[in-house]
Amino acid sequence: MNVTTERPARRSRWRAGFVVGVTAGLVAAGATVGLPEASAATTRYEAETSPATCEGTIDSDWSGYSGSGFCNTNNATGAAAQFTVNVAAAGSVTLGIRFANGTTTARPASLVVNGTTVQTPSFEGTGAWSTWVTKTLTVNANAGSNTIRLAATTSSGLPNVDHLEVGAGGATFTNPVVGTPNSADPTLVFHNGFYYYVATTWTSNVVMRRSPTIAGLRTAAEQIVVRTGGNTMWAPHLELINNRWYLYYSVEQGSLPRRTHVAESAGSDPLGPYTIRGILNLMPNNGWAIDAAPIRLNNTLYMTFSAFGTDRLQSLFIAPMTNPWTAAAFGTRISAPTLAWERQEGAVNEGSFLLQHNGRTFLTYSASYCGGPNYKIGMLEYRGGDPLAASSWTKFPNPIFQRNDANGVYGPGHHSFFTSPDGTETWIAYHANSSATQGCGTTRTTRAQKVNWNADGTPNLGVPVRTGVALPVPSGE
């Protein structure tokens, strides 16, 4: 499913263009310092006042801060702001970090709770040092005293930190969202009050899970929605087009090449029933073509997919469509794995997925061989002109999402985007391994996390989150 983020709505959209707590539960680490009465639901800890520690300088030269100043930790790798907080009961808590970053460049950081790095948030530019905003994160805390440390990970340091507000957490979930074995190459959709999930099954069948909550997907029943009649089915893609659901999936029939097949729902229920429409004829000579994902550009339907060029490089192609199950012409190549980071353990471009935001169109994709730990996500941008021409697409020079050894996440990729239940947030669902030695098989699990946006309008996927970390559920759930 593709997501368009400009139009909040509680229902799913045509996706070709994807487009705190109770005071009694929290007490101060110090009886008389660092604790203005922020609200009846949260406790505030000022960054410039004990028991907080500022590993930088305490300044007051910019307006708009609370308390007597703020912690300035700019331009220093390893600079940090640290808070000691007491929590009455173990469990989820929210952290409201008030900060100012007067540049347009995001400042990445490590969030360390009781000595363990649990998240790697990025603090976006606020445009002025006197413009303060609050970033809300959710973590698990122990009963009693806890150390919350925000540490810079680059030479640009942290933003200026004003204070930390701690409150009881709301609903959370942990990754993986869906465990092995049917959990690679996921598509996750929210539609009319439910999440719908499909992934590679290692059988000939397409199965679907449904749950009203993202956490519930892990134990939701698998329902067979399409019996393909072929060999192993890979990478199903679920898409709503003109009030019908379409499943695009890769399958082999006997010794024939792996190709994309399509099934159409009888109505507007993602669970079907489905009718198999046949094979999408995307390449000459009934050629190999996988990972199909429809997109709509300039009011015209296209299909993006992965296939081999004449140079035998597995690349991204696009074909015009007559209707959701019929290609009007064979595909043309718009991206080949030519950059070094696209060629690790194998030269691959595959798993494309469209993301649209504020009038801009991005085509994200997976690069390098899926069996290695360096499988990752790259991005193209459509800049206008004929979508079938490679010159209409600009490739970003660096990956936007990749392995994070510190968090124990390897080979993150083959993803989809979905919107939160209230339509205000963009989320990514992707598969990854928990070991660098695991490959392109049943060890991969599905994870999900929120997408942020950089000041320049590009998506900020951050870094893949460690499994088991409590994350706030999508907004509106």
Query: Active-site residues: which are they?
Result: 185, 350
Please say whether the beta carbons of 413 and 346 come within 8 A: no
Please say whether the beta carbons of 23 and 40 come within 8 A: yes
Closest by CA to 343, choosing from 364, 321, 297, 374, is 374
First to last CA, the chain: 19
- Cα distance between residue 59 and residue 61, in whole Å: 6
Instruction: List, as one string, the DSSP characters of 7-58.
Output: S--SS----SS-----GGGEEESSSSSS-----SSEEEEETTSTT-EEESEE
Please say whether the beta carbons of 292 and 16 come within 8 A: no
Please say whether the beta carbons of 132 and 98 come within 8 A: yes
Structure tokens at 111: 């969030």
Helix, strand, or coil (residue 254): coil
Radius of gyration of the chain (CA): 23
